[in-house]
A and B are shown apart, each in its own frame.
Chain A
Amino acid sequence: SQQGEEDPQALSIQEGENATMNCSYKTSINNLQWYRQNSGRGLVHLILIRSNEREKHSGRLRVTLDTSKKSSSLLITASRAADTASYFCATDARAGGTSYGKLTFGQGTILTVHP
């Protein structure tokens, strides 16, 4: 079963606009990771945010984490056509448990950026 729910399921924007994707999860986590996937290929790691962090930046990416609401958001600023992909959040729910190596993924957001 999927831990996370991602919202929206699909997002269509123009180049230069910002894209925001949201992720909710159910259990306590050690960290949350965001990934990008192009057309059924492998997952590209974007960013990891620890449970004691609230915000993290990497280039045009900004990730926030609210553990009280069990939610995270990914903001892509000044989007480009090359950002067109599916975006997934994945939680490492090892806190207090032994979920070695197991990431639990959301269903993903399909982002389309029109040139």
Chain B
Amino acid sequence: KAGVTQTPRYLIKTRGQQVTLSCSPISGHRSVSWYQQTPGQGLQFLFEYFSETQRNKGNFPGRFSGRQFSNSRSEMNVSTLELGDSALYLCASSLGRGTNTEAFFGQGTRLTVV
């Protein structure tokens, strides 16, 4: 079956703009988590959605937001972009139930803010 799909793969935006990234999870998976990866901070958790509800949130400013649709597809939005938002954004898909479920990642969206 198809894996996790993230679009677009690459984005270049200007400071102050906003951006929306998309993630389609594996069929049957209801949990989508988002992560930011930078050389300095590594992989950091942004938030998690399950059945259209945000269940968990990391320590990021309110400029970072997300949502999940009834088909489990998720989007994340970053408003008022800053240079420091340049990163690889990864989403992970899992069943979302139980305590030992594997998380599978997409290829990521490489965001560059200039």
Contacts and interface: CB of A to CB of B under 8 A. Distances in A.
A95 B92 CA distance: 20
A100 B103 CA distance: 12
Contact of B96 (A30, A101, A105): A101
Interface in A66-106: 88, 90, 92, 94-95, 98-106
Contacts of B107: 41-42
Given A30-B100, A45-B105, A40 B110 contact: yes
A107 B40 CA distance: 10
Contacts, number: 76
A35 to B, nearest CB: 7
A101 B102 contact: no
A31 B94 CA distance: 14
B56 A42 contact: no
A10 B25 CA distance: 32
B106 A92 contact: no
Contact of A101 (B6, B42, B56): B56
Given A33-B103, A94-B99, A107-B42, A101 B33 contact: yes
Interface of B: 4, 6, 31-33, 35, 42-43, 45, 48-50, 55-56, 58, 88, 90, 92, 94, 96, 99-100, 102-108, 110
26 contacts: A30-B99, A31-B100, A33-B103, A42-B4, A42-B105, A45-B103, A48-B100, A50-B100, A90-B43, A98-B56, A100-B31, A100-B55, A100-B96, A101-B31, A101-B33, A101-B56, A101-B96, A101-B103, A102-B48, A103-B35, A103-B45, A103-B103, A104-B45, A105-B35, A105-B43, A108-B42
